Structure 1
């Protein structure tokens, strides 16, 4: 196929949640994508725009309750612990590529024939992959901040992480801690030192630095905003600020969605985009890293499309050249 003119047929399973809606929003403007169907048993025959009001006038499709596998790739935007069941119960043809946005295939030994889809770590593997396990949102922000240190084999001390995430990171289902009246004007810690993404982060770091066994002390915080993740990370280092900054610039020089700086970074620089901004400094013998991403884009749907581009030999940035709203 000539990837410059091909339209790849896309199916979306679980298109009613935040990641499904964000995926559709971005795919609508992708020049090499034709959205073939959007699957939802509970909303079958209803207009997609009845769930995602922002798509009214942009997408006229209705949800379907049957999957037509005459497609090139399927995105699974299903709740955790259900994507594997869907794959096992569906007769998905071998030629159809799968990109799973849940955690079901991220960790060994559950990879099976799925490649962990962090392009800044596994770009070569992603290009030749049939199936992708898309990384988690906190895991993406934290891993990208630490990978250059692991690549240089200089992660030698415990790592301390504080991360804050917007309410969309908890998914669309309502609970006390996602309700407007609870979340507004409020912040809280949850899953301190036991967050599920710690294992995912460690798995990637040991891929670059075998034997890494230091503690990853991660304190996640629920933020009183809608979308975005800011992770503040520090660990001991004997390197200078200039040397660490050069290390980061070199590691990410061929990765178009990562920007490295020694200046402060903030969420508004990345929200609505597939960009990652990482601030790098050494202060009193500590490397201090601040990583910011949009949890729904680079932390989920945008990264999934980035992986799709690589799998089909398309330019990595196509369909993802999104500008943040800075004010």
Structure 2
């Protein structure tokens, strides 16, 4: 039996990635792909990487019989959509915005949204009705810090520098995604105030009670299209050998997160649902580098991983994606 899938906000980058991957998911039947701006037009006219892959067209509304609906709407718009268009209680929702990620926002319309980071909440996800998919920066940074939190080793402030590709800003036009501005350029944005800090703090606090450290986060805009590379460091009394063992033990059963003995780089993860981590020690500072594809593990791939868990499938189903290194 196939899982009938609907997508709302079908013209954006995250929806395009969902469609690309789900077209080849053996247990999925793609239903209505809703776009208010492109209803009636061929999906491949917007997502032109899908030319020859599908002849589906964008719909104006959901069919109403979906098993799961992915909400690929801008931040604040998922809540507005559900207020206007309540979905049946039997329909699972996986929301890719930040509307329901925080504990204070998790209850909505009789639903409870479970925070969808499988490496943290796998058993809760398997029993959930609705999922709040994590943010892209949040995914990369949390996966770099969860083992330390579980061991109670986050005792001093954490410093993070992380760079993301232009697709992290979405498909809407703005000065900072314009080719002439972005090319041969690097800049910071939302220093120390990025919206993903809230969900990161709640996840770490879930593992380490009485967590009392600040996370100093500087996000960078990169002059490339996709991927996130994060450098995370904090003072630690662990030796590098102890830290690497801690990380490898924590992620021993993780399907997509791997602790590499060698230094990592972005091309190893682009187009995949993988997170690669590498642990080093310099004096008192423990350095963890983390790399993901912001559109896959940071968004659509992780959403499909969550869907697999919701429906009792192996979480790797449909996600056997290989990086393109050259």
Aligned equivalent of 2:74: 79
Match of 1:37 in 2: 32
Give the aligned CA root-mean-square deviation in angstroms. Answer: 0.7
Stretches of structure 2 that go unaligned for 5 or more consecutive residues are none
Q: Select between 131-140 and 45-54 the one with higher mean Cα deviation.
A: 45-54
TM-score normalised by L of structure 1: 0.98
Matching of residues 69-218 of structure 1 within 5 Å: 69-112=64-107, 113-218=112-217
Matched, 1:278 2:277: yes
Deviation at 1:41, TM superposition (A): 1.6
Give distance in 2, aligned partners of 1:167 and 1:74: 26
Distance 1:29 1:62 in 2: 18
The answer (yes or no) to whether the contact 1:245–1:261 under 8 Å persists in 2 is no
- Which residue of 1 is the match for residue 18 of structure 2? 23
Equivalent-residue separation in structure 2 for 1:188 and 1:262 (angstroms): 30
State whether residues 10 and 33 of structure 2, in contact with CA within 8 Å, keep that contact through their aligned partners in structure 1. yes
Stretch deviating more after TM superposition (271-280 or 191-200): 191-200
Give the aligned partner of residue 3 of structure 1.
none
Q: Could you say what secondary structure the match of 1:34 adopts?
A: strand
Q: Deviations over 1:32-70 (max 9, x none)?
A: 000011001221111111101111111111111121111
Deviations 1:244-303 (A, max 9, x none): 000000000111101102321000000000000000112211110000000000000000
Matched residue of 1:109: which SS?
helix
Counting matched residue pairs gives 322
Could you tell me which of 7, 10, 17 is aligned with 1:12? 7
Distance 2:239 2:171 in 1: 43
User: In structure 1, how many angstroms separate the alpha carbons of the residues matched to 2:96 and 2:320?
Assistant: 21
Q: Following TM superposition, by how much is the alpha carbon of 1:128 offset from its aligned partner in structure 2, in angstroms?
A: 0.3
Distance 2:98 2:9 in 1: 15
- TM-score (norm. length: structure 2): 0.98
CA distance in 2, matches of 1:193, 1:236: 19
Whether contact under 8 Å (1:37, 1:61) holds in the other structure is: no
The residue aligned with 1:245 is 244
CA displacement at 1:241 relative to structure 2: 0.7
**Any idea what SS the aligned residue of 2:180 has?**
helix
What corresponds to 2:299 in structure 1? 300
Encode CA deviations 1:147-194: one digit per residue, 9 max, x unaligned.
Answer: 000000110000000000000000001111110000000000111111
User: Would the aligned equivalents of 1:161 and 1:232 in 2 still touch at CA under 8 Å?
Assistant: yes
Deviation above 6 Å: which 4+ runs of structure 1?
none
Counterpart secondary structure, 2:128:
coil
